[in-house]
Structure 1
Amino acid sequence: MLKKVVIPVAGLGTRVLPASKAIPKEMLTVVDKPVIQHVVEEAIAAGFREIILVTRSGKQAIEDHFDHHYELEHELARKGKHELRAAVNDTIPDDVEIVSVRQPQALGLGHAVLCASHVVGDDDFAVILPDMVIDNPDGNRDLTAMAKRYAETGKGQIMVESVPEDQVQRYGIVDCGGANVEAGTSAEIKGMVEKPDVADAPSNLAIVGRYILPARVMELLKTTKPGAGGEIQLTDALLELTEESPLEAYNMRGKIYDCGNKAGLLQANVALGLRHPETAEALKAFIQGLDV
């Protein structure tokens, strides 16, 4: 059963400087929760119960956020602010464990995942990039659907989204052999290309930072040589995996916001803020009154 998810949080957050100079980028907020909490809640909803943070020095605020703050909880209880106390206290359910491991050097996503190998062990696992917030307004979460597909087929899953064809050079693109992969469905991956030229792109399906993978990936990462940028790339290990067993691309239904850059973070705040009961009315009125 899928229980473990690896979330690499060791990045420097250069795309959101100066905000991330002293605050981990994962602790920047979307409405009333830090980005990392949105991501962890997504994983928990999909059934994962062991959250493995791959971290570094200066990121303690992430771990503290999911810990108890007894003085704050006591003060909120004393003032009768029980709903707010529950929001602070119940950041994760009692049956969920958060484990932290260190990435001593920034040597790529593949290296970050490999740093968690001793915790993952022989279990299949997921990888979630912490900057990406997925919005499924209907409540049918894409990661949950992807985990279900994995349970049904036993095939590794990589989440993708359809992007405009003239933007494929910005992303890692999957090759599904020309298959028409409808939103909410999966198709077998024939290959993967990192930031291809528009003319050479095998599809417009871009990898968006959600993976469900067999334990075998960890063994492959141990022998994966540095690739693009001199870093150990997860994609290189996945390409090697496809020679042994099939991987599928799951085409997401929701909307993804890259909160690792300023525009994406602002967009996520507007989109989710317009549905939050405490902010929706005031935010909508503010936007309608803008003279832009």
Structure 2
Amino acid sequence: MKVRKAVIPAAGLGTRFLPFSKTVPKEMLPVLNKPAIQYIVEEAVASGIEEIIIITGKNKRSIEDYFYNNAELELHLQSSGKLDMLKMIHQPTTLANIHFVRQKTALGLGDAILTARSFIGNEPFAVLLGDMIMEKSLSCLNQLINVYNEYKAPVIAVEQVPDLEIGNYGIVLGEKKGERLYRIHRLVEKPKTELPSRMAIMGRYILEPDIFDILNDTKPGVGGEVQLTDALQTLTSKRSLYAYQHEGKLYDVGNYLGYLIASIEWSLKNEDIRDSLYIFLKKLIADIEEKN
């Protein structure tokens, strides 16, 4: 079956961005002039996704508002002749059929995905984490869909990370099956001990409905939460699960450094500000080197 539905979990508490994230979801952090979650929705749509469900939680109402029309603002912009701005704010509301459901309690990524069960039904589906964005020119999700269409089995995106960052991600170990493809044998969520792998899960998945029964029986793991990684480990004992080392660069904007890197690199690609920003950064680096 065609992968036409996607789940975007955005119910996390976002504690790494406190106190800002106390009232504003981290998924609404702007990268240039758009919130991170819009880039994720755009990637899904560009990959052929037709229906999207965003899993939200308490204090996440602004995400829902962003993808709905604001009649008062639109009328003001139209009457003021600011048609470019009108087009800009209207775009998010027309990207796809977007639905919302609230995770009652923040019990982890696995539990968030489980709340989408009735929406997904008996179809394969994509999962895109709400704090991972990708260069627009190359869709990570589209790469996974191509792998899924060929192998008819669940597949997740991975990439090599530095040793010091292994404990920040789910890590996979597997058998190489192609230039970028691996069959997974083991998955460990945020390992505290050294593993013979630096292959980290990067927030993009193609799954099938059988994952829901497994999630329903998965006990809380790291952090007292229901971990999708643990459910995927169970899945490997039942069927093939693949990892694909994606092409292109994913940005983890769910932490300070990743957010700053994404903001700077994407700004340097923006024709309106890149030259001025480059001059500023060059001077800043020169000043720092002079002081040192």
Per the TM superposition, whether the score is higher than 0.5 is yes
Whether 1:272 aligns to 2:273 is no
Distance in 1, Cα, partners of 2:61 & 2:192: 40
- Aligned-residue offset at 1:50: 1.3
1:194 paired residue number? 189
Partner of 1:91, secondary structure, is helix
Q: 1:177-199: CA deviations, max 9, x gaps?
A: 3x3864xx322111112333564
The question of whether the paired residues in 1 share the 8 Å contact of 2:57 and 2:106 is answered with no
Which structure has greater helix proportion? Answer: 2
Distance in 1, Cα, partners of 2:172 & 2:161: 12
One-letter code of the match for 2:110? Answer: G
- Aligned-residue offset at 1:155: 1.4
Question: Given the superposition, is the C-alpha separation of residues 164 and 180 from structure 1 closer, same or farther in structure 2, using an over 3 Å criterion?
Answer: farther
**Count of aligned residue pairs for this structure pair:** 285
2:121 paired residue number? 121
Q: Which runs of 5+ in 2 are unaligned?
A: none
Q: 1:200-245: CA deviations, max 9, x gaps?
A: x132110111111011101211111222222211112111111222
1:55 paired residue number? 56
The question of whether the paired residues in 2 share the 8 Å contact of 1:52 and 1:116 is answered with yes
Give the alignment of 1:1-292 within 5 angstroms. Answer: 1-93=2-94, 96-135=96-135, 139-177=137-175, 179=176, 182=179, 185-196=180-191, 199=194, 201-290=195-284, 291-292=287-288
Partner of 2:215, secondary structure, is helix
Percentage of identical aligned residues: 44
One-letter code of the match for 2:218? Answer: T
Distance in 2, Cα, partners of 1:202 & 1:219: 30
One-letter code of the match for 1:250? Answer: Y
Question: Given the superposition, is the C-alpha separation of residues 119 and 208 from structure 1 closer, same or farther in structure 2, using an over 3 Å criterion?
Answer: same
One-letter code of the match for 2:246? Answer: M
**Greater shift in the superposed pair: 154-163 or 80-89:** 80-89
Distance in 1, Cα, partners of 2:272 & 2:85: 13
One-letter code of the match for 1:188? Answer: R
The question of whether the paired residues in 1 share the 8 Å contact of 2:13 and 2:106 is answered with no
Q: Which runs of 5+ in 1 are unaligned?
A: none
Distance in 1, Cα, partners of 2:192 & 2:28: 35
The alignment's C-alpha RMSD in Å is 1.8
